[in-house]
Structure 1
Amino acid sequence: MNPIFSPPLYKQRQQFVIDFVKENKPRKVIDLGCGECSLLKKLRFHREIEHLVGVDINGAKIKKEMHELAPVSTDYLQPGYEQLCVEVYQGSVTRRDARLRGFDLVTSIELIEHLTLADVEHFSAVVFGYMTPVTAIVSTPNSEFNPLLPGLSGFRHSDHKFEWSRAEFRSWALKVCSGYGYEVEFTGVGEAPQDQQHSVGFCSQIGVFQRLEGRDRCRASLSDDEEDVFSYTLLYCINYPSLRDNNILRRAVVSEVLYWAEQIKNRWMEEKTGKKNDAFTLCQTEGRMEELHLEPHMEMEEKHTEELTSPVQHCWRALPDNEGPEGDEVLWTNSSNRCVSVPLAVLWSFCPKVGELSGSLGNLRHLLMDEPAVKLSQDGSSVLVKYQEQDQEEEAEDLEDSNYAECSHSAEQEEDWEV
């Protein structure tokens, strides 16, 4: 049946929903009869959705595929500000569950034809009378199209209890609208040959139901005396990483601060000593080449269009007037600590990602407080970065200790072998 359509009919149905989501940007979406979660797997990448739910009566089918709804590695490496919670339930669409109320969009793709006509009435009452979504998309086979499907006799699937004509589907949809306060628009996917489009319609007919204004207030008043029902079984739940999670935000800020503090320290050392630090030049990817005095032959990636002058050249501008610099010595802290002090004001002002993540200088300081990976000055105004020469000396000492331990271990082995 599907080979006569390109793309296949099931993909056209899913694309219809995806196009609706792109245009209308619903935040809370439910897919009834989610089956193998194929539509959910596509919708999770549309990050305007904050809450994505699937429901199916076949728990075994859900369990085979539900773990593919988990975040991918890039979601953890580069979390965004968007939130997304994905849940999958086992349950019947003819039964109520209070957790599925108040959603923006409910989809029922090729589902109702698997229900008995009595259960279709329960379905209508649950979806439109109890869940009352802002929008519902319902698709079902169009029986008038069946004669055009090669090799088909009877229903399109052995589990179908009925297949409606366009008039029958329209009759049911209008009854739903009058009973529950909706309006409907009819469309479909899977076009017939051009000379038969008017006579047979779409292969899959679709009704897009929109809740009428004021219906939400009516539902709220009617539901005050109702007791919440939880009839579904939660099989899977995952929260995607988001910068709205304070722990994730803190890790992102710390990572950016450590990176940029090291780059600023390296450039300051380069300007102070006159020695070129190739490691810094290779790592530096933001800002304008001429303003940061980078080699002209280096290929730079321009991530920001705004003017960005060298943060080293402007360190003193971020400090109070009474802490004015004597030359560029403002970066030094206690010489016995062998550290370079990089003011937080500089990091916040001249490193775009740091400023974007933290929001304010005060919030940046708060996020870095009590963070083991970041060493702050006593007054909390600067990040302290170890001076390079001290690091090299410590590495040399560690290397000597490591070599000594290795030699001692080898000697012990030789003695054992001789014995």
Structure 2
Amino acid sequence: MSHIFSPPLHRQRHEFVVDFVKKNKPRRVADLGCSECRLLQQLRFHREIELLVGLDINGAQMKKKMHGLGPLSTDYLQPTYDQLCVELYQGSVTQRDARLRGFDLVTSIELIEHLTLPDLEHFSAVVFGYMTPASVIISTPNSEFNVLLPGLSGFRHSDHKFEWNRAEFKSWALKVCFEYGYEVEFTGVGEAPPGQQDSVGFCSQIGVFYRLKVGDCCSALPHDDEENVFSYTLLYSVNYPSLHDNNTLRRVLVSEVLYWAEQLKNRWIQEKSGERNDDFTHCPTEDGGEMEGRKTACEDEMDSPVDCSGRGDEEEQGHVSVPLAVLWSCCPKVSELSGSLGNLRHLLLDEPEVNLNQNGSAILVKYQEQDQEEVNSDLEGSEDLASGQCFYRAEEEEDWETDV
């Protein structure tokens, strides 16, 4: 059937949900009857969502696709402060589970027509009466459109228990609103040919439900005094890397610190050999520009990092000492991640990859004579630093649509 629509009808339904998410920015979203997780695959890229949940009675089908919901390599290479947890559950929409209560958005795309009418009553009570999400999007076939579908006799799918016309869907939706304190807007996707939209409507009809404030309800909401129940089986759960996680923050910070300390060591070697490249003193920003105020601080404070080679404490011999104050003031990413110079020192104290001096005021970077030869041969490569490029730059974000 989808071949008569462009884009395909299933994609139009998903795009409707995506547009709703872009506009309303819900933080907790659940898709009931998620099947092969196609909608979840799209929604995971909208990082205003913090918890993304899929529920389906067919666990085997979800297991085939669930690992495709995991983080991409870019999420590990360039984590942000956004937080996202993805969970998949096996269970029936006619059963209650406390873990899906109070969501900002619940979607049910082409699901209710697979339920018997008694099960549909349970579905209404579970979704609207127990889960009580702030908004609900429900789509279902519009039987009035079936006359336009070539070769169709009977229902659109052998598992459909019913297919409603617009009046029947509206009657059910308004009954739900009255019983559970919601209001509804009617729309759809899959437009009819010109001149026939009014007579047959959309191919898939959609109801968008919004929970009313307590004082606006037409009837009292049911009180739930039961203990929390957990009837669903958790099949998959993954937390995307986030800078709110201390371990992730430390990993990224250490990488930045080691990179910039090595660059500052190379600059000192150039100065020592009299072959300093003036561009090397410029402090790059994320967009490749320069931080004028920081540039002066870099040049003043880093006029010459301490050469510990051959003198000082034994543990500092053969190293160049790069003050943390210089790293923090010269490197925007380091200061952004650490927040303060004191916090930078605290975060680095117990890191085995970072070698600090005795009082913890500087990082010690190994220095050998061949380092100078390598730097002298790579002077032109230092121009990359002025353009703000470093290993932390992530690859371009993958385009999920090429695989659908």
With normalisation by structure 2, the TM-score equals 0.84
| Number of equivalenced pairs | 366
Query: How far has the Cα of 1:51 moved from its partner?
Result: 0.7
Structure 2 letter corresponding to 1:331: V
1:371 to 351, 367, 375: 351
1:382–1:220: structure 2 CA closer, same or farther, 3 Å change rule? farther
339-348 or 125-134, which moves further after superposition? 339-348
> 1:303 corresponds to which residue?
288
Contact 1:268 1:312 in 2 (8 A): no
Residue deviations 1:97-133 (CA, integer Å, cap 9, x gap): 0011111110000000000111111101000000000
> 1:292 corresponds to which residue?
282
Structure 2 letter corresponding to 1:343: P
Whole-angstrom distance in 1 between the partners of 2:333 and 2:304: 26
Structure 2 residue 248 is the aligned partner of structure 1 residue 248: yes
1:99–1:293: structure 2 CA closer, same or farther, 3 Å change rule? closer
Aligned counterparts, 1:391-402, within 5 A: none
Residue deviations 1:266-290 (CA, integer Å, cap 9, x gap): 11221232135xxxx8xxxxxx948
1:290–1:74: structure 2 CA closer, same or farther, 3 Å change rule? closer
Whole-angstrom distance in 1 between the partners of 2:283 and 2:113: 69
Whole-angstrom distance in 1 between the partners of 2:248 and 2:215: 39
> 2:37 corresponds to which residue?
37
Where does the alignment leave 5 or more consecutive residues of structure 2 unmatched? 312-316, 374-404
Structure 2 residue 331 is the aligned partner of structure 1 residue 351: yes
> 1:257 corresponds to which residue?
257
Structure 2 letter corresponding to 1:122: H
1:293–1:272: structure 2 CA closer, same or farther, 3 Å change rule? farther
Larger Rg: 1
Q: Secondary structure at the match of 1:185?
A: strand
Whole-angstrom distance in 1 between the partners of 2:74 and 2:215: 41
Query: How far has the Cα of 1:387 moved from its partner?
Result: 2.1
Structure 2 residue 118 is the aligned partner of structure 1 residue 118: yes
Query: How far has the Cα of 1:68 moved from its partner?
Result: 1.4
Structure 2 residue 206 is the aligned partner of structure 1 residue 231: no
> 2:340 corresponds to which residue?
360
Query: How far has the Cα of 1:221 moved from its partner?
Result: 9.7
> 1:152 corresponds to which residue?
152
> 1:400 corresponds to which residue?
none
Query: How far has the Cα of 1:27 moved from its partner?
Result: 0.9
377-386 or 258-267, which moves further after superposition? 377-386
1:290–1:248: structure 2 CA closer, same or farther, 3 Å change rule? closer
Structure 2 letter corresponding to 1:81: Y
Q: Secondary structure at the match of 2:10?
A: helix
> 1:9 corresponds to which residue?
9
1:246–1:215: structure 2 CA closer, same or farther, 3 Å change rule? farther
Structure 2 letter corresponding to 1:373: E
Query: How far has the Cα of 1:338 moved from its partner?
Result: 2.6
Query: How far has the Cα of 1:215 moved from its partner?
Result: 7.8
> 2:272 corresponds to which residue?
272
Q: Secondary structure at the match of 2:169?
A: helix
Structure 2 letter corresponding to 1:222: H
Structure 2 residue 317 is the aligned partner of structure 1 residue 313: no
Whole-angstrom distance in 1 between the partners of 2:48 and 2:256: 26
Q: Secondary structure at the match of 2:88?
A: strand
Sequence identity (%) = 71
Q: Which has the higher contact order (CA 8 A, sep 6+)?
A: 2
Contact 1:34 1:40 in 2 (8 A): yes
> 1:76 corresponds to which residue?
76
Runs of 4+ that moved beyond 4 A: 215-221, 288-291, 390-393
Contact 1:136 1:208 in 2 (8 A): yes
1:364–1:159: structure 2 CA closer, same or farther, 3 Å change rule? same
192-201 or 126-135, which moves further after superposition? 192-201
Contact 1:143 1:163 in 2 (8 A): yes
Aligned counterparts, 1:38-57, within 5 A: 38-57=38-57
Whole-angstrom distance in 2 between the partners of 1:329 and 1:88: 56
Contact 1:87 1:238 in 2 (8 A): yes
Query: How far has the Cα of 1:23 moved from its partner?
Result: 1.3
Structure 2 residue 103 is the aligned partner of structure 1 residue 91: no
Contact 1:264 1:312 in 2 (8 A): no
With normalisation by structure 1, the TM-score equals 0.82
Query: How far has the Cα of 1:251 moved from its partner?
Result: 0.8
The CA RMSD measured in Å over matched residues stands at: 2.7
Whole-angstrom distance in 2 between the partners of 1:293 and 1:228: 55
Q: Secondary structure at the match of 1:313?
A: helix
Query: How far has the Cα of 1:329 moved from its partner?
Result: 4.8
Contact 1:291 1:310 in 2 (8 A): no
Query: How far has the Cα of 1:332 moved from its partner?
Result: 3.5
Q: Secondary structure at the match of 2:195?
A: helix
Contact 2:180 2:221 in 1 (8 A): no
Query: How far has the Cα of 1:348 moved from its partner?
Result: 1.3
